[in-house]
Structure 1
Amino acid sequence: MGITKLADLIRSAAPDALSYKDISDYTGQVIALDTSIVVNQFRAMTPKLSPVRGVFFRTLTFLEHDIKPVFVFDGKPPWEKRAALKKRAEAAGRNSFNCTGAASSQTKDCLQLLKLLGVPVIQAPGDAEALCAQLVKEGTVDAVASEDMDTLPFGANVLIRQLNAKRDSEVTEYSLPKLLEKLDIEHEEFVDLCILLGCDYCDKIAGLGPKNALTLIQKHRTIENVVLHINREKHPVPHSWKYKEARKIFLEAPETGAPELIWTEPDEEALVKFLRDFKFLKEDRVRHRLEKFHQMRESKREEREKERAAGHSRQTHMEDFFRVTRKRGKPVETADSLNNNTKRPKSK
């Protein structure tokens, strides 16, 4: 998943592009989340339980920190990704994989949960990380939260990893502008570097390590020129290599309109009924967590108010949190359109 050994390369070649933060540093920010990454994390951690439980707890943690989450769901994957998806399905012991983008029953459960939690949901036309990156580039959101490093070649200026509910968890933030400056390459050249490292959309040149790939791109600037200057016997180029198709996927923005993002207070009674009736969580545990959510949110707001009074500026007012954010153009598909398979009408 993502770009092979890119995180290691950044740590060694461009450490200034990294910063380490706390979840509270993102108070008041709009964060796009690659939902499949969140769901898969909970599948791996608690394989016998529905990931709906984990999404419930994590979303409340974001909200009590006054983070504005936007959950982005995958659409139909690019044809070029089928080989990678098939390989992952086989590794997980599954006989098939989703190549249509149709919402599974588990996806629909997550959509219903997020709707009751009062957070916006967006359906991407293709890979969610591509749309997440586009939302950052156009200024609709402040950052992308994902463990998938290919969010960077898609053009996300700010990528956040390890943004989770664990206490004292250190969040890692990647700055794409700082990364490109430190590596002394343009974004298009960075995309070629990521293809050389190994991505989901095509094969890679065998035996070409990260440091060598970076040196070659810094010197020759394009894959076409790199191929002319490597030892083809030592590093054979894949037959019918689809690197141009992969490059196009990374560089072409998803064809969607800008979304209308609205956050509302969680519908507590509906949440209790939904989680209880589908046996995701017992009623007393849901009510206890919601009570804790309200207490924690108010406590954190009081702390920020004291900081503001003492001369600090981090402050989020309730009326600023629950509001429409960045209305621009027509909306992309949202939770209702995912369930009904119809697009929302253009906003006027």
Structure 2
Amino acid sequence: GGSPRAMGIHGLSKLLNDNAPRCVKEHKMDYFAGRKIAVDASMQIYQFLIAVRQAGGEGQLTNEAGEVTSHLTGMLYRTIRMMEAGIKPVFVFDGKAPTMKSGELAKRKERQQAAVVELAKLQEEGGTAEDIEKQQKRIVRASREQSEEVKTLLTLMGVPVLDAPC
């Protein structure tokens, strides 16, 4: 069940749905007009990297040098939409992971490496598009460089950025 996510707090949605089902509400963007909203920048970058990949199969948006720009294009347009709706976004970037999380990070790396192997196998043996897409999503990670590029973009747009302490 649930939507696939590469990051975030494991099991949070289920915990909230089971124990406080009315605590999460969906609203149209204009509901938030005039408010400052904290945005998980890493999750946004990840969403743009997989969304563009889905739309174009293997491809990503790139510049003339072949460097991926999907994260920049997506962030630019989403941020403009938020600002046009009167929202004051504040983008929060992941800080350095706490030492106690190192075991979880090692497990993620193992799962990512297993997905690379599985993807190669599926592509070689002609796996279904759905199975290939599933493995591609497991491989996608926003690089430190991509996060820095997004920070630069947002700063140039006059949008506040914060680094989470951990």
Q: TM-score range by the shorter chain?
A: 0.5 to 0.7
> For 1:71, what is the secondary structure of its paired residue?
strand
1:144-155 aligned within 5 A: none
Structure 2 CA distance for aligned equivalents of residues 120 and 13 of structure 1: 33
User: 1:67 aligned to 2:87?
Assistant: yes
Q: Which residue does the alignment assign to 1:124?
A: 164
Structure in which a larger fraction of residues adopt helix: 2
Select the residue among 110, 123, 127 that pairs with 1:90. Answer: 110
- Does residue 24 (structure 1) correspond to residue 30 (structure 2)? The answer is yes
Q: Read off the aligned partner of 1:10 and give its amino acid letter.
A: L
Distance verdict in 2 for CA 1:79–1:25, change over 3 Å:
same
- Rate the CA distance shift 1:13–1:76 in 2: closer, same or farther, 3 A: closer
* Aligned AA (1:32): A
Amino acid at match of 1:121: V
Q: Percent identity?
A: 38
Cross-structure match for 2:51:
45
The answer to whether the 8 A contact 2:34-2:87 is kept is: yes
Give the TM-score normalised by the residue count of structure 1: 0.31
Q: Which runs of 5+ in 1 are unaligned?
A: 96-102, 127-348
CA change 1:71–1:31 in 2 (3 A) is same
2:13 is matched with which residue? 7
Cα-Cα RMSD: 2.4
CA distance in 2, matches of 1:79, 1:121: 24
SS in 2 for 1:70: strand
Relative to 1, partners in 2 of residues 1:10 and 1:104: Cα closer, same or farther, differing over 3 Å? Answer: closer
Q: 1:53 to 1:87 in 2, by over 3 A?
A: farther
Aligned equivalents of 2:90, 2:75: Cα separation in 1:
13
Q: Aligned partners of 2:165, 2:47: CA distance in 1, in Å?
A: 23
Which runs of 5 or more structure 2 residues have no equivalent in the other structure? Answer: 1-6, 54-59, 62-68, 117-142
**SS where residue 22 of structure 2 aligns?**
helix
Work out whether 1:113 is the aligned partner of 2:133: no
Seen in structure 2, the aligned counterparts of structure 1 residues 116 and 90 have a Cα distance that, compared at 3 Å, is same
What is the CA–CA distance in structure 1 between the aligned matches of 2:94 and 2:155, rounded to whole Å?
17
Number of matched pairs: 119
The residue number in structure 2 matching 1:216 is none
Secondary structure of residue in 1 paired with 2:90: strand
Partner secondary structure for residue 18 of structure 1? coil
Determine if contact 2:42/2:147 at 8 Å carries over to the other structure: no
1:91 and 1:77 map into 2 onto residues whose CA distance is 18
Give the structure 2 partner of residue 34 of structure 1.
40
How much does 1:8 deviate? Answer: 2.9
Residue 84 of structure 1 aligns to which amino acid in structure 2?
E
How far does residue 88 in structure 1 lie from its aligned partner after superposition? 2.3
Cα drift, residue 3 of structure 1: 4.1
Q: Which has the higher contact order (CA 8 A, sep 6+)?
A: 2
Per the TM alignment, residue 19 of structure 1 is displaced from its structure 2 partner at its CA by 2.5
CA distance in structure 2 between the partners assigned to 1:89 and 1:41 by the alignment? 19
